[in-house]
Amino acid sequence: MKFSRPRALAYGSIALLAAAALRFTPELPQRESGAQAVLQGAPAESSVEAPALPEWVEREDTLARGESLGLLFQRAGLPPVSVREALRAAEIDARRIPAGLRVKTRLAQGDSSPSEVVLQLAIDRLVRLQRAADGSWTGSEEVIPWTTDTVVVAGAVESSLYQAVHDGAGDVLPGGARTELAWKIADIFEYRMDMSRELQPGDSFKAMVERQTSPTGVVRLGNVLATSFASSGHQLQAIRYGEGRGNYYDAEGKSLRAAFLRAPLEFRRISSVYGMRRHPILGVMKKHTGTDYAASSGTPVRAIGEGVVVRAGWGRGYGNVLEIRHRNGYVTRHAHLRGFAKGVKVGTRVGIGQTVAYVGSTGLSTAPHLHFEVLVNGQQRDPSAAIKAAIKGGDPVPVKERHEFEALRDRMIAALGVESPVKVASAN
């Protein structure tokens, strides 16, 4: 096919324009997945570098004995005006802060004054003070959360309850918590057993306890959830049920509380027991009509049961002596006392566990101790046997809560790995 010259020139111009359009038109982006499209749509990273964060310097100090918190703040670098502002922001009575308080300060490198001060008021409690840009201070109290788990501790008695607990809990509790556990076990069973004098080699215990750990690794003892004590072929069990301190029940659902405590002092070592012994002053063998509890002078003496004071004064060889009349013809006598508790005199009505006097060394006594006697219908009796005979179990678990208690008891007994003294109903 032949084209005329004008037509050929027109077609040539169109071709040149089309080529130019293709040359300078940008390429269309390829279609990609949604996630890729989102990434492409994100703004590109800025080439401008972010300003460097300041380097911080942390220091730790301790409040010295007799030193004020204000002086410690000044030593940490706070000017006097900031000291007053920081103390106001803390909202604590600086005069009641104990020596040894740990204080941490935080300041930027090159800065002469801290911008943050932390007061470690307790293991799980601190006050954080922060300085704003305008120089003012704000304070906030923070409670550090503890994590709680449960552990089972078991041990055998060779010499004492302390020894048994310390040996049995060595891998799971620190020393202070082990001592506290021994005290708690003695407190739980104080209506049923005198841990000071009734333990024998070969006795054993098991206890399920709460163990609480702070973020810093400090371990403390929580509640004793269940415990058992095997002694002389008998087994005592205690299950914590309900709210409140001391709400422990035996496996049959009877409260461990009773009309009498087993001892007039909290868990203490006894220096001598009922029976024949050489009198430390008279130097002759005579009937020792009571039990001696070795304790420091001033140790509180408690009433083992409700009663009325019938004697409070000087009793020759007894020194200061206190007698309390209880129900059913029981009288308890406490001798060699340093003195009597405030308000305790003849005719005073006292309650179980109430502090009535203080250990001393008056009368025929060589060292501070409590001499304790029990009289039944005017006759002196072995205190341990007399109290044991008088003890009756406390109130049982309410009938409407019986099923709930038994379910908890079964779980606790299984966790302790001890044999239940009661028949547990079959699941079928």
pLDDT in tens, 136-146: 899 998 888 89
| CATH code for residues 56-143 | 3.10.450.350
Count of residues for the chain? 428
CATH class belonging to 270-390: mainly beta
The full set of domain ranges for the chain reads: 56-143, 145-258+393-428, 270-390
Give the model's pLDDT for residue 299.
92
Residue pLDDT tens, the chain, 428 long? 444 454 544 445 544 444 444 444 444 444 343 333 333 344 444 455 555 555 778 888 998 888 888 888 888 888 888 888 888 888 887 677 888 888 998 888 777 788 899 988 888 888 999 988 888 899 998 888 899 999 999 999 998 899 999 999 988 999 899 999 999 999 999 998 888 888 889 999 999 999 999 887 889 999 999 999 998 888 899 999 987 655 899 999 999 988 899 999 988 655 555 665 555 666 666 566 788 998 899 999 999 999 999 999 999 999 999 999 999 899 999 999 999 999 999 999 999 999 999 999 999 998 999 999 999 999 999 998 899 888 877 789 999 999 999 999 999 999 998 655 444 333 33
CB 77 within 8 A of CB 71: no
On whether the pTM is more than 0.85, the answer is: no
pLDDT at 271: 57
pLDDT for the residue numbered 297? 92
CATH class of the domain whose range is 145-258+393-428: alpha beta
Are both 145-258+393-428 and 270-390 of the same fold?
Answer: no
Single-letter amino acid, residue 364? L
